[in-house]
Amino acid sequence: MARWQVLEFEENGEWRSTCANERIVYGDLHHARVFYGTFFAFAFLIPLVAVSLLYGAMVRRLLRNSFAGGGGALRRTDKQTVSSRAKRRVTRLVVIVVVIFAACWMPMQVRVSKL
């Protein structure tokens, strides 16, 4: 069983403390790789994949829905054009949300893995 200890350190002129696993602090690289790999998977990778898949399914369903209403198959009405434009905006927004999620959480993952 891993034991945890409180470490005190100075950063930017301030004393801080953190709770750390003894095995990682004293250089057990295998334990550190397992710990940080698990942290990366559960705190970043799995949520990113889940968000991407769920938003992807939502966008696919949104884009697959056919237009209700009359008119010929070759003739596009103003309503269809507006709906098509709205679908493109939603798709772009979903991509932006996923990219921002990844961009905001990635620096923490890089910082934690270098400790």
Give average pLDDT by consecutive 10-residue segment, the chain, 115 residues.
Answer: 76 86 79 86 94 93 68 60 84 93 88 63
pLDDT of residue 46: 96
pLDDT of residue 114: 61
pLDDT of residue 32: 82
pLDDT of residue 4: 74
Q: Give the chain as a 3 state SS string.
A: CCCEEEEEEEECCEEEEEEEEHHHHCCCHHHHHHHHHHHHHHHHHHHHHHHHHHHHHHHHHHHHCCCCCCCCCCCCCHHHHHHHHHHHHHHHHHHHHHHHHHHHHHHHHHHHHCC
pTM: 0.66
Structural domain boundaries of the chain?
4-65+75-113
